[in-house]
Structure 1
Amino acid sequence: MDVVYGKYKEIDFYNIYAPICLSNNTSSSQAYFGSKVGNYGLKRPRIYSGGYDPCFSNHPQVYFNRAVVQASLHANTNRGNSNTSVKWSACNDNILNIYNMTVTSVLPVYKKLIQGGLKIWIYSGDADGRVPVIGTRYWVEALGLPIKTDWRSWYHQHQVGGRLVEYEGLTMVTVRGAGHLVPLNKPSEALALFHSFLTGQDLPPKR
């Protein structure tokens, strides 16, 4: 895994086809599969698509560390005391390192929600290296749900927007060319997906 993560440092882990942020002010995130595995110091996702800045998360970091912003949010009332001053960052690895994971799987939760008759869609960008489609497929298939409609393409603006499969109680949708943050990478496709979910209209099965 050290070798694999070492190679991941060369690209954007959260969108494997996007350029990485080259800014010196880039906030960092340590991506790992829980504290038991290790800390590999991977960079925070910097995603570029359709004019988006690959260093986008630098901007909210600067914003949320402004004194006036923290004061308005009552987020750092002891800012004057250097011993208790808090610096906001896009990812706080300290929280992840000390978090006590008492639940090893949320599959039982999904089973209860499905039994309750809730409408559930799972969506995933197919360029996401952090939560890849194959991993999502693995846990969805582990639910053992009967297939209602087999895998098919769905279309957006006369192009393939992704793929979807319908199970009894759950639908899984992929978004072509999107990374971890689907609405950021593919905003138009994401809007079409959410619109379909809310209105009950099928995602277009053809051009």
Structure 2
Amino acid sequence: MTDLLTREDLAVDVLPAAHRLLGCTLEADTPDGPVAVRLVEVEAYRGADDPASHSYRGRTPRNAVMWGPAGHLYVYFVYGMHFCANVVCMGEGVAGAVLLRAGEVVSDPGLARARRPKARRDAELAMGPARLAALLGFDRERNGVDLTDPASPVRLCAGDPVPASSIRSGPRVGVAAAKDLPWRFWLDGSPAVSQYRAAVPRNRRNRVARVSGAPAGPD
């Protein structure tokens, strides 16, 4: 295991935290064995000043993990079918998180393919927040785990520094509020970066409460 990110590394504003996460490795213990991905796409969400964030309207039992301390995993369920995961950042008591949108598998590829047998190619194994969460086995039981603890079932390892020239940014995916903020960041050239899709109006039956960067459909 390489060095883990520290709580201090993540107790910063969501934008530098998002940049810091690119190139880092997320390791998870699953029933099938350890799986790890190199993060190649993320999205930043603040709190009171970000109407697209879960924490915009204040603290609730659902979003409590977002309020710190930094370095914990915030997992939520969306569309009644998918889990998505965020890394909590900012100072304790101030909500903020970075959605993990995509990663490149850096562990046993055979195990990863066995866990995601419907993926048509390796680049799709963790392409999109729902696929990433499924590959790493994230569910409600993983909500709140400490990514900075070596004994944690999910660990966040520091990667090699990523030059600013390799980072691209653009609008967040599938959010109607503050939709033009360029707070999605990705590594240029990675085949695992997900495809951009703007928010699509949903009818009353399918409408879902505002989420911290929910995918715009099954990922």
State the TM-score bracket (shorter-chain normalisation): under 0.3
TM-score (norm 1): 0.26
- Which of structures 1 and 2 has the bigger CA Rg? 1
TM-score (norm 2): 0.25
Q: Which has the higher contact order (CA 8 A, sep 6+)?
A: 2
- Structure with the bigger percentage of strand: 2
